[in-house]
Structure 1
Amino acid sequence: MRAALPTVAEDVVAAVIEEVPSYTDAFSGPMGETIRSAVQLALGGFLSQVSERRREGEPRVVPAIEGAYQLGRGEARSGRSSEALLSAYRIGAGVAWQRLSAVAVENGVDAEVMASFAQAVWAYIDEVSAASVSGHGDESATAGRVKQRLLDRISRHLLTGAPEKTVVAAAERADWAPPSTLTAVIVPESEVGSVLQLVHTGTLQATDLPELDAAVLLMVPDAHGRRRSALLRAVEGRECLVGPSRPWLQVRSSYDRALRAQERGLEADTEAHLPELVLTADPEALADLRTTVLAPLSGLRPASAAKLAETLRAWLLHQGRRDDIAAALFVHPQTVRYRMAQLRDLFGDQLEDPQKVLALTIALGVSPEPSE
């Protein structure tokens, strides 16, 4: 059988090439020689194991098992699946059994020994297959971790404002093609897996950001224009916040917008909340503006001042339409008439001055605290 090994190995290789499409071109070049050597090593290891009649508990033939493990790693690096590798093992085992059993018969091996020999063949194939699958899995996991580290580096550079050449170099190392735009999406940790299945495969992730509690930042490529509606559908009902699309190197501004919306307790599309986000961009300035333009109300009791401020806001937003104002405030139109008379007494000509009306509209654009 040892004398027949080179021929058996070539027959195994030929059968694998013919019957497993993934290996049609795999046996050319340096990798082909590696695989051929692995086949011969596996066959030689099997014969050594059988001839030594390894008893239970004795060590395996380490070189053959190690060779199978390294073969699995190499196949993962070559992009072939573990399923293709297992198919090759099954086909190779069948060919090896046919050739080696023929040699055994020619040499007068009896039926009982042949049965034991067959059992040993398939037990050994299970053993080397497991080693190869383990190597394939380890290499895939390692490659995945390396890839993720490279992608994480891109995310970190984008969020910290690294120079463009630094970010571009990181993208090249990660083999990540820069998109036209990136859109920041804040996603609860429990929803990340579901959302990733619905968005662009090149989406970047940033986890453990100090400003996010139990949430992850996703940066989705090319979700601008009409594609934004698809992104919004993907996150609908998931308590996500979607920032604006920005040129990919400026995604930090999209993230900042989403963070401000989160601080305001807003949800879903930040583009739907632009007035409030603009008005609350500088809370101190807004507070000062309110104090200044609502000064005529400062001498009133707080409850009365709040009701009149609420009425003035409705009057501005509804352009003086009394019935609409009454409906918005859940009061009678006569109440609106009475309150507006008070406001005109307090503000006088200011309610006719375009600049004063603009200031009042901005100051009251965000609804004040409800009155008692």
Structure 2
Amino acid sequence: MSDADPTRHASRTARGAAELELGQAAIDLLRSRLPDIAGKTVTAIIAEVPGYTNALAGPMGAKIEGAVQLALGGFLRLTGSGDPGTPLAPALEGAYVLGRGEARSGRSMDALLAAYRVGARVAWRELSRTVVEAGLPAETLAKFAELVFAYIDELSAASVSGHTDELATTGRVRERYLQELGRGLLQGESADQLAGRAELADWEPPRTLTAVILPSAHVRGILGALDPRTLRPEDDLTELGDVDEDPAEVAVLLVPDADGSARSALLRNLRGYQAWVGPTQSWTTARTSYLRALRARQLQLTAEADAPVDTERHLTTFVVTSDSAALDDLRRQVLAPFEALRPATAERLEETLREWLLHLGRRDEVAAALHVHPQTVRYRMGQLRDLYGARLDDPQTVLDLTIALAVKPSPPG
């Protein structure tokens, strides 16, 4: 433990506990309900602290529930001892170790302190209900409340101390390894190289990774809602040859296991943020997800208001723009009949032809999409048949026109 050993300050809580007269009946009742109180505390933390939604599921949740029981049990030992010298060292040492573990897991103290706040509220609600049931007077209840929150404060301080100490030593080394792992993923290193980097960083590989590109200023606001294993490569992305602007403006997150329903949750969490979300890939091929998200950003793809861009909804765009020069040649070839027309007329007919192809020639639907009268569509299609003749009934011509008109060309510059 650090020189600023939190156990040295345990006497404050111990003295208060020694002065508190709960009575053996109340203490026995409290002890009998500890498992239930611990379970409710962990349930509330999972529900209210996003950073622990996955971290406390399964075996980890049971482990934390046991730790909560031990902490509350230690507190009750204080209140039942009547001895101001009763040590708090075991409980505070456990909180200190918990803080170090959070740092090793790559999490900030934000989630843990939020968990302490939620835990204090739930624990006090359940403990106070029990002591009221035991018939304790209001004055004793007030002192009990003060003691509960003082105890939680000391546990929080011990965890902060552990977190700080870990970051000052091995935490910084691990952070460097995590950065190197993230960079290797973006560069597309081999599976063996990446597995070695993950082992060095003490990072448990997920099944999949999903790349998210967003402005750097938005990262802090979203990280707390994501899987704690999420990687944020901090390297200069311009060195990878992928972005041209100030790299401080652009951030990449690699989010573990965001497939299936978890992808929907990720997209919901990103609402309100300007973000581009790549496809879910095996974790060793995360570069594919990163490049797809980057391509969406370069194409300036947009989604509905406040929603992130889901690249899975734009696969056609990626396919038809994969060879931009070939697409330009195709457009010039199949749209050659428009060259003799005035630009405004050509633009109207091109737009009409696109909708006619997309709506399989259903005139009313084409008119609704263009916000014109069906007779206007009929007139324009007559002009198009004059330009193309029987070719509009040729399957190959229809295919070429569909591809050529599938994506509107980007404006110059």
TM-score, with structure 2 as normaliser? 0.57
Q: 2 CA distance for matches of 1:183 and 1:136? A: 28
Counterpart of 2:176 in structure 1 is 149
Say if 1:265 and 1:135 are closer, same or farther in 2 by CA, change over 3 A.
closer
Q: Is the 8 Å Cα contact of residues 187 and 217 (structure 1) preserved in structure 2?
A: yes
Corresponding position of 2:346 = 305
Q: What letter matches 1:21 in structure 2? A: P
Q: Cα offset for 1:158?
A: 1.2
Deviation per CA, 1:142-190, whole angstroms, max 9, x where unpaired?
3332221010010111112222222111100111011110000012212
Q: 1:19 to 1:206 in 2, by over 3 A?
A: closer
The reply on whether 1:160 has 2:187 as its aligned counterpart is yes
Of the three residues 11, 21, 42, the one matched with 2:90 is 21
1:287 pairs with one of 307, 328, 340: 328
Structure with more contact order per residue of length (Cα contacts < 8 Å, sep ≥ 6):
2
Is this contact kept in 2: 1:223–1:245, CA < 8 A? yes
Query: Residue 155 of structure 1 aligns to a residue in which SS?
Result: helix
Q: Which protein has the larger Cα radius of gyration, Structure 1 or Structure 2?
A: 1
Trace 1:199-210 onto structure 2 (pairs within 5 A): 199-207=226-234, 208-210=236-238
The residue aligned with 2:264 is 229
User: Is 2:245 aligned against 1:245?
Assistant: no
How far is 1:19 from its partner? Answer: 3.3
* Of 257, 264, 281, the match for 2:292: 257
Report deviation, 1:17: 9.0
Shift in alpha-carbon separation, 1:77–1:300, aligned structure 2, 3 A: closer
Shift of 1:275: 2.0
Deviations 1:219-253 (A, max 9, x none): 00110112101111111111111110000011001
Alignment equivalent of 1:271, drawn from 276, 290, 312: 312
Q: Which residue of 1 aligns with 2:366?
A: 325
Q: 1:327 to 1:78 in 2, by over 3 A?
A: closer
The alpha-carbon distance between structure 1 residues 278 and 191, as it changes in their structure 2 partners (threshold 3 A), is same
Q: Secondary structure of the equivalent of 1:191?
A: helix
Instruction: Give the counterpart of 2:404 among 358, 363, 368.
Output: 363
Contact 1:76 1:140 in 2 (8 A): no
1:102-251 alignment to 2 at 5 Å?
Answer: 137=164, 139-207=166-234, 208-210=236-238, 211=243, 212=247, 214-251=249-286
SS at 1:298 equivalent = helix
Gap change, CA 1:348 and 1:159, over 3 Å in 2:
same
Give distance in 2, aligned partners of 1:185 and 1:232.
Answer: 10
CA contact (8 A) 1:151 1:174 kept: yes
String of CA shifts for 1:122-156, please: whole Å, max 9, x gaps. Answer: xxxxxxxxxxx989845533333222101001011
Report the CA distance between 1:23 and its aligned residue.
7.2
CA gap of 1:316–1:171, structure 2 versus 1, over 3 A, is: same
Change (3 A) 1:213 1:300: farther
* Number of the residue aligned with 1:60: none
Letter in 1 for 2:407: V
Aligned equivalents of 1:295 and 1:78: distance in 2? Answer: 66
Unaligned runs of 5+ in 1: 1-14, 26-71, 81-132
Deviation >4 Å, runs of 4+? 15-18, 22-25, 74-80, 133-136
8 A contact 2:212–2:254 mirrored in 1: yes
Give the partner amino acid of 2:285: Q
| Equivalent in the alignment of 2:9 | none
SS of residue in 2 equivalent to 1:206: coil
- Which blocks of at least 5 consecutive residues in structure 2 are unaligned? 1-83, 104-159, 303-307
For 2:100 and 2:333, how far apart are their aligned partners in 1? 68
Change (3 A) 1:201 1:341: same
Secondary structure of the corresponding residue to residue 246 of structure 1: strand
> Letter of the aligned partner of 1:367 in structure 2?
K
Partner of 2:274, secondary structure, is: coil
Deviation at 1:331, TM superposition (A): 2.3
Q: Deviations over 1:67-114 (max 9, x none)?
A: xxxxx9x9987999xxxxxxxxxxxxxxxxxxxxxxxxxxxxxxxxxx
Q: Contact conserved, 2:102 with 2:163, CA < 8 A, in 1?
A: no
2:100–2:162: 8 Å Cα contact kept in structure 1? Answer: no
Give the SS at the match of 1:146. Answer: helix
* Letter aligned with residue 195 of structure 1: I
Q: Secondary structure at the match of 2:340?
A: coil
Would the alpha carbon gap of residues 279 and 213 (structure 1) be closer, same or farther in structure 2, given more than 3 Å must change? farther
Quick one: structure 1 residues 22 and 160, their matched pair in 2 at CA, closer, same or farther if it must change by over 3 Å? same
CA–CA distance in structure 1, aligned partners of residues 384 and 337 of structure 2: 9
Deviation at 1:368, TM superposition (A): 5.4
The match for 2:60 is none
Aligned AA (1:19): L
The residue number in structure 2 matching 1:108 is none
The number of aligned residues is 260
Identity of aligned residues (%): 52
Contact 1:17 1:24 in 2 (8 A): no
